[in-house]
């Protein structure tokens, strides 16, 4: 393991501190760090090394967590600013088997929020508040992802997903908004609660509309996606409502 000044690596953690407080905190908040290469990742060894730690803070990179239950897989993407305890995947339903797989999609650096960090951080309540905010932000993101999976058409789910990904990882280019994430159709299916063949078909429709294209090392969103997203989803809702009304009248 290496070491990192956590407030230098993630300045937003110190947003509520004065300059004097930030300088004082920096002297106490140098924490262990670990770098992880892309590929499948088993966090158990890290958990053993980090016994008693609050968790880890992602400083750089992109990770995925995929959970498979009853033959269906759902997932989430994690990146800089997220706080997690990847070595803990306790079974909330002891009688039901499920499987969790972690992968590193882009080279990652994690800061270990160890006991020394906790002992130091309690001296600055705004720092603890920011850590709590990070955990809550992840929870709210998962709630939004659950809602995303209820959008009737898969192309609508994918467009909203890529809009969210662009907000976090995208960058503007002359050709559109580049989202430099290497996401397979299977991974996308896990993120939008859809089977891979449905994802493939939906991506084809989005490509035909000019909204989303594959690009080298990732994806390219049309520059007008902000304006077109609302119209696209509203049109889907109108079609879905009409379909429900038609079905009800036939019942």
| pLDDT for the residue numbered 240 | 55
| pLDDT for the residue numbered 6 | 92
| pLDDT for the residue numbered 57 | 95
Topology of domain 2-148, per CATH? Jelly Rolls (2.60.120)
| pLDDT for the residue numbered 58 | 97
Q: What is the pTM of this model?
A: 0.85
| pLDDT for the residue numbered 194 | 94
Torsion on CA atoms 120, 124, 128, 129, rounded to nearest 10 = -170
Q: Which of 20, 11, 22 is nearest to 81 (CA)?
A: 11
Q: Which of 194, 197, 158, 200 is nearest to 72 (CA)?
A: 194
Tell me the average confidence (pLDDT) per consecutive run of 10 residues in the chain, 251 residues long: 91 88 87 95 87 91 93 92 86 74 96 90 90 90 87 90 94 93 94 94 94 91 84 69 56 56
* 60: β partners: 109
| pLDDT for the residue numbered 139 | 87
| pLDDT for the residue numbered 69 | 87
Domain borders along the chain are: 2-148, 154-250
Topology of domain 154-250, per CATH? Arc Repressor Mutant, subunit A (1.10.10)
């Amino acid at each position: 393991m290496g070491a990192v000044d956590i407030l230098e690596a993630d300045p937003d953690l110190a947003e509520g501190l004065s300059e004097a407080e930030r300088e004082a905190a920096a002297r106490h908040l140098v924490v262990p760090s670990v770098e992880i290469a892309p590929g499948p990742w088993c966090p158990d060894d890290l958990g053993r090394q980090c016994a008693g730690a609050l968790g880890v803070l992602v400083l750089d990179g992109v990770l995925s967590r995929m959970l498979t239950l009853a033959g269906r897989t759902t997932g989430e993407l994690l990146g800089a600013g997220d706080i997690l305890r990847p070595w803990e995947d306790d079974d909330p339903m002891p009688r039901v088997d499920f499987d969790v797989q972690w992968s590193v999609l882009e080279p990652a650096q994690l800061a270990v929020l160890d006991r020394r960090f906790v002992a130091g951080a309690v001296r600055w309540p705004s720092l603890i508040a920011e850590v709590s905010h990070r955990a809550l932000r992840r929870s709210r993101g998962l709630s939004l992802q659950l809602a995303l999976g209820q959008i009737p058409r898969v192309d609508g789910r994918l467009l909203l997903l890529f809009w969210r990904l662009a907000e976090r990882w995208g960058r503007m280019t002359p050709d559109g908004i580049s989202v430099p994430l290497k996401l397979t159709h299977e991974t996308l299916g896990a993120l939008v609660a859809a089977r891979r063949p449905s994802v493939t078909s939906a991506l084809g429709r989005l490509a035909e509309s000019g909204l989303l294209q594959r690009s080298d090392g990732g994806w390219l969103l049309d520059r007008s996606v902000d304006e077109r997203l609302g119209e696209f989803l509203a049109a889907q809702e109108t079609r879905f409502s009409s379909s429900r009304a038609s079905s009800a009248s036939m019942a």
